[in-house]
Amino acid sequence: MSGEYNICSLVVHLAPARADEAARAVAALPGVEIHARTADSRLVVTAVDQPGARAFDQIAEMHRTPGVVAASLVYHVFENTESDARDASPN
């Protein structure tokens, strides 16, 4: 990915009766990855901008997903790949 992009971390609370279905739907969203799932139906998720799929749009889609009770933004950073390349190159 080139240019600027968003990286977001969230805790997603699921309705226990629909947790499996909701987790599959969340995992299927472009740029979304589930990193952990708790026994009490919570997910630790990241959402990263993808070509044609902004992270914030995916977060909104999580809120509309049946079985999702809430999706709470925990962390957000706006990255620039050009500055990342400069930081990684030796001086």
pLDDT (tens digit, 0 to 9) for every residue of the chain, 91 residues total? 568 899 999 999 999 999 999 999 999 999 999 999 999 999 999 999 999 999 999 999 999 999 999 999 999 999 887 655 455 445 5
pLDDT value at residue 64: 97
**28 contacts: CB under 8 Å, gap ≥ 6:** none
pTM of the prediction?
0.83
Question: Could you tell me which residues are beta bridge partners of residue 5?
Answer: 79
**CA dihedral angle for residue 50, residue 55, residue 56, residue 59, rounded to 10 degrees:** 130
